[in-house]
Structure 1
Amino acid sequence: MSHLDISRPRPDISVITLNRPEKLNALDRDLVEDLHGALDDIGRDDECRVVVLTGAGRGFCSGLDLTAPSPIDASTLGMPRAGMRWQERIADLTTKLIRLRQPVIAAVNGPAYGGGFALALASDIRIASTNARFCTQFIKLGLGGCDIGVSYTLPPIVGAGQAFDLILTARTVEADEALRIGLVSRLSEGSVLDDAVAIAETLCGYGKFGVESTKQVLWTNLHASGIEAALHVENRSQILASTSGEMRAAAAAFANRRKS
């Protein structure tokens, strides 16, 4: 049985709901594999333009399910090779979200801890309900504090100082602080999922190539070597976008609105 619920509020928007509410949507092997499969399918789906990621029940994702049977079978590969395979499989969710053509909006409806925090950080837009809470958690489990990409994704979002604090102390960040430090861009007073879908609908109103290329440029230039490299990527994207015909259509629509 799949631990994901995938719905389409409209043909060009996919809502992926982590669906283990009794476990606060904790990640076990099945959920990790289901999520990989869903992202692979969406990546091949040219009709889908935006993805919303959320959790069922009162949580977004509480991280790795420590009560589940160990997913590591060392009988064939031995350790640490078998452990590394599983570690890489989880971590690959971060790169898969970042490399997905479609923008991903994390609708954080409750606790986002450990691996759940990592999934939110790998999303392109994060909005949260007032019940949302964030915590890296890893160091509390006797592990290193850096896992599933957080040492790469968190510092550009909140700054190095805040990131070092959050990762080393593993303290919990409530929703209001998350907004204040820029961890999320919006708080939702009503349904965070409805608000996320509304943002998705806004993005679907823009040019198809323009939205896809904007996501690619943003992630590429986040760690650009300098302004020249960043401008090169931007310039290339803009010229390609100008050949799609969507720019002319948008300009015509704007002109018509001014006349009315």
Structure 2
Amino acid sequence: MRYLPGQPHQLPGNRQQLSDYQAQHFCLEVAAGVATVTLNRPERKNPLTFDSYAELRDLFRAMAYADDIKAVVVTGAGDNFCSGGDVHDIIGPLTKLDMPGLLAFTRMTGDLVKAMRACPQPIVAAIDGICAGAGALLALASDLRYGTARSKTAFLFTRVGLAGCDMGACALLPRVIGQGRAAELLYSGRALGGEEAERWGFLNRLCAPETLQADAQGFALELAQGPNFAHGVTKKMLQQEWNMGVDEAIEAEAQAQAQAICMATNDFHRAYHAFVAKQKPVFEGD
């Protein structure tokens, strides 16, 4: 990338390309500005391991500096999304760890959710089949969720003797589906079917299994072709305004934290000139 004076977001060393990144513990493909992260252990319903947790965390942290990624799709290979932590590779070893080791693990898993929420690109989860435990948190940490009628989402921590407050579930889930419904799922650990998940607002869209990936990719491509800088600001404010009152949020959006910055971007001017010319704007993310 050529550095352009006066554009500090393009300072050398501050930007990178992830299209050539070779993932070790999942699949990563980048095309037309959309990064597709595929959990790729279909024979085990795509469970997570210590290594895949850590690599996913590091990948989403790197997204903040990726010039070639404008939107992300997270999905699973085969007919399932993710069955959670691998029973043999994670659950078994956890029973042998001391308290400092257990705390290091729970902080690492939480850091993955933090990285997903902090990366500026919108994340679309494409959910089919099993979406359980930590897999349900990957879906929840995404910005939007496309699913199928046969999908089964379960925050099943209580089923294995754990609290439902894992990886930010008690903060995120009530904001998506409401406090009462979140409490039911987190206490019971029961599975939420696809049609019910759409009615409850957990799924943004219900798709046919055979079109799920195309539907999710199509929407991610629309996002990638939009005003990417503004999308990043929207995501940041959606996160920050959880802890604000309405008046404070309106002021924050008016100030340089949000809308005033976007009004200074080239994309804002492109949109105006395209409107005057009765054309569709072509956004470039600056």
Map residues 120-199 of structure 1 onto 2, 5 A cutoff: 120-189=139-208, 190-199=210-219
Q: How many Å apart are 1:191 and its aligned residue? A: 2.1
Instruction: Check conservation: 2:46, 2:82, Cα contact below 8 A.
Output: yes
Structure 2: gaps (5+ residues): 1-22, 281-286
Match of 2:56 in 1: 35
**Alignment partner of 1:9 out of 31, 38, 44:** 31
Matched-pair contact (CA < 8 Å) for 2:54–2:112: no
Length, aligned pairs only: 254
2:103 pairs with one of 74, 84, 87: 84
Q: How many Å separate the matches in 1 of 2:80 and 2:103?
A: 28
Question: What is the CA–CA distance in structure 2 between the aligned matches of 1:88 and 1:54, rounded to whole Å?
Answer: 23
TM-score, length of structure 1 as denominator length = 0.92
CA distance in 1, matches of 2:239, 2:81: 24
Taking structure 2 as the reference length, the TM-score comes to 0.84
Could you tell me how far apart the structure 2 residues matched to 1:138 and 1:72 are? Answer: 14
Matched, 1:218 2:231: no
Q: Deviations over 1:124-156 (max 9, x none)?
A: 111112221100000000111221111110001
Aligned equivalents of 1:135, 1:165: Cα separation in 2: 11
Task: Identify which range, 193-202 or 38-47, moves more after superposition.
Answer: 38-47
User: Deviation per CA, 1:225-260, whole angstroms, max 9, x where unpaired?
Assistant: 31121112211211100101211111221232279x
Measured in 1, the distance between the counterparts of 2:103 and 2:279 equals 59
Q: Which moved more, 1:212-221 or 1:134-143?
A: 212-221
Which aligned runs of 4 or more in structure 1 are off by greater than 3 angstroms?
69-74
**Percent identity for Structure 1 against Structure 2:** 30
Equivalent residue for 1:252, pick from 273, 276, 280: 273
Secondary structure class of the residue paired with 2:88? coil
Amino acid at match of 2:29: S
Quote the offset at 1:33 in angstroms.
2.1
Q: Alpha carbon RMSD of aligned pairs, Å? A: 1.9
Return the alpha-carbon distance in structure 2 between the equivalents of residues 94 and 71 of structure 1: 22
- Structure 1 gaps of 5+ residues are none
